[in-house]
C-alpha cells in the first residue's frame, strides 16, 4: 500500500511537471506566433507591468565561453520602455521597420520548473530568422532565454526575461525586433 502510494505520488509529480512544460511550450509558441504576425500590442498584454526584460552584451573572455556584461545591454527594458518601442514600431516613421521585417522565431529546447513562489522558470532556445524588403539577404539571431512566468489559469504572463545572444558581434544592421 505504502509503496504504491509513493509510486502514485511520483507519477503525479511527473504528470504535473509534464503538464507544466506542455503549458509553457504552448505559451512560448503562441507568444512567438504573435510576434511573427507583428501583433505587438497583443504581445504587450502578455507582459506583467513589473516586467524586467534584459539582453546583456556577450563578452569574450579567455577561459569561459559564456560571459555576459553586468552593465551593458542590447535591451534593459521595463514595461514603459517596451510599450514605447511597440508604439514606435507601429508609427509611420520608424524607418528600421519600414517595410516591416519578416521574422520566424523557432523556440526549442524548452525546460520548465516550478519555483517556490508559485512562478515558473522557463528556459528556451531561440533562433530568429530576419528578412526585410525585396532583398535576397537575410540573417539569423540565436540565443537562449530564461523567463520567469506567472501562471494565469492554464496560460502565463511574463514577469522576467533574460536573453543571452550567442553573437560576440551581431552581424545585423540593427536589432529592431523583440527576442
Partner 1 sequence: MSTPTEEVSSENYNSAEHSPLLSEIEASLEDGKLPLKAFNDETVHELELERLFSREWIFIGHESEVPEEGDYARRYIAGDPFIFIRDMNGEIQVLFDSCRHRGTKLCRAEQGNTSHFRCPYHGWTYKNDGELVGVPQKEVAFKNLDQSEHGLHSAPRVDSYAGLVFASLSDAGESLEEHLGEFTWYLDIQFKLPDGGMEVIGEPHRWVAETNWKTGADNFAGDSYHTGFAHHSIKQLGLGGDDTVGVAGAGETKDRHIHCNGHTTSTRMVEGEDVFMTYPDEIVDLFNPDNVTSEQYTAAKEALSFTGSVFPNLAFLNFGDITDDPNKDVTGFLGLRKWRPLGPNKTEIWSWALAPKRASEETKERIYKVYMSNFGPTGNFEQDDVSIWNGITDVADSTFASQHNLELNYQMGTEQMSEVAYDEQWPGPGTVYAINLEEVGMQKFHDQWFDHLSTPLETSRRPERSECAGSSECELPEDGE
128: which 3 cell numbers?
530568429
Dihedral-angle region of residue 170 (phi above 0 means left; psi in -120 to 50 means alpha; beta otherwise): beta
- Nearer to partner 1 among residue 2 and residue 93 (C-beta): 93
49: which 3 cell numbers?
507591468
- By CB under 8 A, the count of residues binding partner 1 is 38
**81 is a contact residue toward partner 1 (CB under 8 A):** yes
- Nearer to partner 1 among residue 10 and residue 76 (C-beta): 76
**168 is a contact residue toward partner 1 (CB under 8 A):** yes
Burial label for 144, CB within 10 Å (0-12, 13-18, 19+), is: middle
Minimal distance in Å, beta carbon 172 to partner 1?
7
From 20, 33, 44, 57, residue interacting with partner 1 (rule: CB under 8 A):
57
Closest listed residue to residue 130, CA positions, set 161, 87, 171, 73? 171
**85 is a contact residue toward partner 1 (CB under 8 A):** yes
Amino acid at each position: 500500500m505504502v509503496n504504491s502510494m509513493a509510486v502514485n505520488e511520483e507519477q503525479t509529480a511527473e504528470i504535473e511537471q509534464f503538464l507544466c512544460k506542455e503549458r509553457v511550450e504552448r505559451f512560448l509558441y503562441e507568444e512567438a506566433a504573435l510576434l511573427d504576425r507583428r501583433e505587438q500590442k497583443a504581445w504587450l498584454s502578455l507582459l506583467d507591468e513589473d516586467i524586467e526584460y534584459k539582453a546583456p552584451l556577450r563578452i569574450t573572455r579567455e577561459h569561459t565561453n559564456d560571459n555576459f556584461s553586468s552593465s551593458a545591454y542590447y535591451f534593459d527594458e521595463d514595461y514603459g520602455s517596451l510599450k514605447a518601442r511597440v508604439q514606435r514600431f507601429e508609427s509611420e516613421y520608424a524607418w528600421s521597420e519600414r517595410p516591416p521585417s519578416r521574422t520566424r522565431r523557432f523556440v526549442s529546447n524548452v525546460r520548465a520548473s516550478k519555483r517556490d513562489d508559485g512562478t515558473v522558470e522557463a528556459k528556451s532556445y531561440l533562433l530568429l530568422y530576419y528578412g526585410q524588403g525585396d532583398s535576397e539577404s537575410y540573417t539569423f539571431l540565436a540565443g537562449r532565454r530564461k523567463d520567469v512566468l506567472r501562471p494565469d489559469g492554464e496560460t502565463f504572463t511574463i514577469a522576467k526575461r533574460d536573453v543571452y545572444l550567442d553573437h560576440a558581434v551581431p552581424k545585423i544592421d540593427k536589432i529592431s525586433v523583440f527576442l
